[in-house]
Structure 1
């Protein structure tokens, strides 16, 4: 069988509220360094991935940067 054609969604929206570790392990997948960091209260490297619906996911990223 063939996989369904993916329709890219490249919509970018402003962050309404700071994100946190809430829901890690139950509602979203989280990766952090150090492992217990909370991006809402400290400077650390953090990634959260949460399925919105079907093949649509939300990714939250936080970390130090010298720019891009």
Structure 2
């Protein structure tokens, strides 16, 4: 019984693995950026804007 040569199978598997890894990595990056980072920056900016507003009111009296 002859065994089929496996040429080309490894290359296809590597291409599939790399494609899936890049796709999942990109998706995870977007999820972190827009799901955590952007809202955190907005909260931080709102906090500092509020502090600056209160400071301006206090110094303006």
Q: Shared fold (TM-score greater than 0.5)? A: no
Instruction: Between the two structures, name the one with larger relative contact order (CA 8 Å, sep ≥ 6).
Output: 1
Bigger Rg, which one: 2
Q: Which has the higher helix share?
A: 2
Q: TM-score, normalised by structure 2?
A: 0.15
Q: Which has the higher strand share?
A: 1
Q: TM-score, normalised by structure 1?
A: 0.14
